[in-house]
Amino acid sequence: MARVVILGAGIAGHTSALHAKRILGKKTEVIVISPNSNWNWIPSNIWVGVGKMKKEQVIFPLAPIYKRKGIEFHQALAKSIYPEGNAKSKKPYVEILYTDSAKKDQVGTVEYDYLINATGPKLNFQATPGLGPDGHTVSVCTAGHAVEAAKSLAESISIMKSGKNQKIAIGVGHGTCTCEGAAFEYTFNVEHELRAAGVRDMAEIWYITNEYELGDFGVGGMVFTQQGFQTTSKLWTESLFRERDIKAILGAHVEKVEAGEIHYELVDGTKDILTFDFAMLLPPFRGVDLQAFNAKGEDISSEIFAASGFMKVDADYTPKAYEDWRAEDWPSTYRNPSYPNIFAVGIAFAPPHQISKPRKSPNGTLIAPSPPRTGMPSGIMGKLAILSIKELLAHGPDAQVPTASMADMGAACVASAGSGLTKGSAAAMTMYPIVPDYIKYPNTGRSGPDTFGEIGLGGHWIKFLLHHMFIYKAKARPGWSLIPE
Ligand SMILES: Cc1cc2nc3c(=O)[nH]c(=O)nc-3n(C[C@H](O)[C@H](O)[C@H](O)COP(=O)(O)OP(=O)(O)OC[C@H]3O[C@@H](n4cnc5c(N)ncnc54)[C@H](O)[C@@H]3O)c2cc1C
């Protein structure tokens, strides 16, 4: 019986796990290793972070779902991969550290035939002194963080209600952050909540980002086609900021955060301080702390993982100037070149290049939004790994496996701009492909008809529907597999 081991039960890993049982059938053993007992629909953390949803509405326990589906679940952190096995085990295996109360801190080993690394990001708050919940800013990256963010925002609102102005700072906390879309979303939700609370005139709202221009979103911006006309995500986003009187600091690397002060450097090398009463800054991401060892026990982590800590897959990692990269440099099978029975999907794979143009300040500081890997591609990759394993099991190691490159994949991003079934709104953006291809689409790198943006109440309903649909799917309720990734 073949064994598929999945590290991580987020969007990519959980999608892999559910499809594995459905597609590979009873003859395949499926094991999930993940440190948290709950699944989290991360996109809705934004609403938890403004107090519009409770934590319980965005999480649910994984164990009952896995029990119902015949999937073995180890609540544990993967620590090391032994892709060749060693004296202890002839088969490849993973060393894990249990995190559940019954087995806490016990070490275990789990052998595998196929390994799917879906461990997502390490939230690297440590990269910026003073950043994050242990420092001076809040976060919405986990449901727990979002609860704290909502509390802190509520305090600011009550201070405003008592007649004192507040300065709000939202954005990204390092020059190499990704997920600017989430920071944008939180900014607009906070603005919406302040209006709803009747205190908007008491607040100054600042958006601080590593993006060189508004609307970059880590994908180098987009050219939208709207009613037959072309416009850019820059113009579109600038207009949204102007309408809501949100000020922006662009091309910024946050150096450190102190109580009430964000110290930053701009692309032109100038340095300044943004003072704040409430600040939500996203951390930069890196790969989780996984190591790899060969049969002799030698550390091969640098062969398996990129310097960013993310796992190497079938991408072209040759160092190149930004202008020289091509769409085909992006991976399409997500298999590790040294050990093709290992896949890395979702945020866990190492992207070959930045999509958004990287810049350096005259002081040598890198200010470069990292490529986003949003929910839809993460789910698609999770399923792809299982479809590939099906082919490998049926036809052996040389089997032709399916492909899905981000240079040949679209993404729909619905950024909430305030919740409420009658008063909510959202900015809905669609792009195809995610990684621009200037050979196929010489003008803008993307397909005109398939790249567009719209804002309105309809977008909020879509976002709300997606929340319920994806939680339904993740709970593996009847017909779940008909809901696309
Ligand atoms: C605030 C916020 C809002 C967002 N909004 C949107 C949105 O509106 N739309 C959208 O498409 N995307 C959105 N995203 C991005 C989306 O959440 C990610 O694309 C998605 O979660 C990536 O899936 P993943 O499975 O790669 O990582 P995750 O979902 O982060 O899952 C990683 C999993 O690995 C586990 N893990 C970590 N370390 C280990 C280890 N050592 N061993 C085993 N398991 C481990 C984690 O516990 C987790 O279960 C948002 C992100 C944030 C932070």
d(CA 109, CA 280) in angstroms, rounded, equals 39
Residue 460, class by beta-carbon neighbours within 10 Å (0-12 exposed, 13-18 middle, 19+ buried)? Answer: buried
- Give me ligand 1 centre to Cα 42, in Å: 7
Class of the domain covering 2-122+287-359+370-406 = alpha beta
Q: How many angstroms separate the first and last alpha carbons of the chain?
A: 28
Distance, CA 377 to ligand 1 centroid (Å)? Answer: 12
Residue 45 Cα: closest atom of ligand 1: 1
Task: Report pLDDT digits (tens) over 394-423.
Answer: 999 999 999 999 999 998 888 777 777 787
More confidently predicted of 128 and 411: 128
Residues 6 or more apart in contact with residue 271 via CB below 8 angstroms: 255, 263, 264, 265
Which atom of ligand 1 has the smallest separation from the CA of 140? 1
Q: Which of 116, 121, 190, 180 is nearest to 150 (CA)?
A: 190
Side-chain-facing half-sphere of 229: CA atoms under 13 Å: 6
Ligand 1 atom index nearest CA of 33:
43
Average pLDDT along the chain: 95
pTM, two decimal places: 0.96
Mean pLDDT of 463-475: 94
For the chain, give every domain's residue range.
2-122+287-359+370-406
pLDDT digits (tens, 9 = 90+) for 249-297: 999 999 999 999 999 999 999 999 999 999 999 999 999 999 999 999 9
Give the Å distance between the CA of 203 and the centre of ligand 1: 31
Atom of ligand 1 nearest to the CA of 282: 53
A 10 A CB-CB count for 457 gives 14
Ligand 1 center to 293 CA (angstroms): 26
What distance in angstroms lies between residue 59's CA and the mean position of ligand 1's atoms? 13
How does pLDDT run across 107-120, given as a tens digit for each residue? 999 999 999 999 99
181 alpha carbon – ligand 1 mean position (Å) = 14
Residue 105, burial from CB neighbour count under 10 angstroms (0-12, 13-18, 19+) = exposed
Residue 463 CB neighbour total at 10 angstroms: 24
Residue 441 clears pLDDT 90, i.e. is over it:
yes
Protein residue whose Cα sits closest to atom 19 of ligand 1: 374
292 residue type, one letter: A
Calpha distance 461→452 (Å, rounded): 18
Mutation pick for ligand 1 pocket among 31, 37, 42 (CB with most ligand atoms within 8 Å): 42
Q: Which residues line ligand 1 (CB under 6 A)?
A: 7-13, 33-36, 42-43, 45-46, 77-78, 118-120, 140-141, 179, 182, 288, 290, 346-348, 373-376, 378, 413
Residue pLDDT, tens place only, 23-82: 999 889 999 999 999 999 999 999 999 999 999 999 999 999 999 999 999 999 999 999
Tell me, in angstroms, the distance from the centre of ligand 1 to residue 277's CA: 28
pLDDT at 190 over 90: yes
Residue length of the chain: 485
